[in-house]
Amino acid sequence: MSMIDPLYSLSGFAVGMLVGMTGVGGGSLMTPLLILLFGVHPATAVGTDLLYAAATKTGGSLVHGWARSIDWRVVWRLASGSIPATAVTLALLSYFQLSPDASRNLITLVLSFALFLTAFVLVFGGSIIGLYRTRMSGLDARRTSAGTVIVGLVLGVLVSLSSVGAGAIGVIALILLYPQMSMARIVGSDIAHAVPLTLVAGLGHWAMGAVDWHIIASLLAGSLPGIFIGSYFAIRIPERALQLILAATLFVVASKISYDQWTTASSILTAFTRRAG
């Protein structure tokens, strides 16, 4: 119990509620929360959230596996792109040994992009599906398989650097690539793929010293009951309203992170200009 911090647990509970009600929002809310509210270094926030996500999504995968709502061929195709991409991304981070400031700037830049993209998908995902679903349904099996691997590759890079992308972005991509697949199997396959992806990426960050196990324990203590309660209320609250609220929240958070990064960069540039002058 000494490892449990009530503030982290409360945050985990709030995020868990949103995840239970919408199915997305874990990494896209938890990582910015750790950075903006608790002042955790972005690299540590990403690594910690990745292992936290691996634990929570394992439970979801077991549920979907029991219900036989996972297409393991899709999971394998996604993983064949995401796992190598994750390994290469982490190897490059380790090789270049970025300074704390450089690491912060890189991760916040990718995080801002991933948050804006997730917010866009939440708002306009239905329109995107309606516009491209018919075209994508004409793809043959070979192109669909190749497209799935490419989606996995993109998710591997995004998730490794920001812990964001395996939820809403992955689901929309699978809906477009597999228009005949049921929504339950798409969500189940996306969650099952997120387990090895977040686990490998999280272990890579742990090897680089960017994981806080105390935070993970506290988050899990709050998020697990939060997910359960959120799932209970999911059918009682309009899903579209929740998605729009979540999208607006992500947009504000991404704007805040981008603004802070721009302010810092401007300050550094001003100081450098004054010294040069």
One-letter-per-residue 3-state SS of 144-181: HHHHHHHHHHHHHHHHHHHCCCCCHHHHHHHHHHCCCC
In the predicted model, what is the mean pLDDT of residues 9-23?
A: 78
Compute the average pLDDT of residues 175-192: 85
Q: In the prediction, which pLDDT does 191 show?
A: 84
Question: pLDDT tens digits for 190-205?
Answer: 888 989 999 999 999 9
- Per-residue model confidence as pLDDT tens digits over 210-257: 899 999 999 999 888 887 777 666 556 666 666 676 677 777 777 877
254 versus 133: which is more confidently predicted? 254
Bigger pLDDT: 75 or 137?
A: 75
Query: d(Cα 230, Cα 31) in Å, to the nearest integer?
Result: 20
Of the candidates 165, 206, 199, 171, the residue with the CA atom closest to the CA atom of residue 31? 165
- pLDDT for res 261: 65
Per the CB < 8 A criterion, the answer to whether 258 and 112 are in contact is yes
Q: How far is CA 163 from CA 33, 64, 115, 152, 200, in A?
A: 13, 22, 10, 14, 12
User: Which has the higher per-residue pLDDT, 21 or 267?
Assistant: 21
Q: How far apart are the first and last CA of the chain?
A: 56
C-alpha to C-alpha distance for 90 and 245, rounded to whole angstroms: 33
**Torsion sign over Cα 40, 252, 190, 151:** negative
CA dihedral 243, 21, 11, 214 (to 10 degrees): -120
| Domain coordinates in residue numbering, the chain | 6-266
pLDDT at 109 over 90: no
Contacts 24+ apart (CB under 8 A), 94-103: 94/204, 94/207, 94/208, 100/41, 100/43, 103/41, 103/42, 103/43
Higher pLDDT, 145 or 105: 145
pLDDT greater than 80 at residue 259: no
CA angle 231, 190, 124 (to 5 degrees): 80
Residue type, 244: L
The whole-chain average pLDDT of the chain stands at 82
pLDDT of residue 198: 93
Quick one: CA dihedral 270, 272, 274, 277, positive or negative?
negative
Mean pLDDT of 20-36: 76
pLDDT of 101: 80
* Per-residue model confidence (pLDDT) at position 40: 92
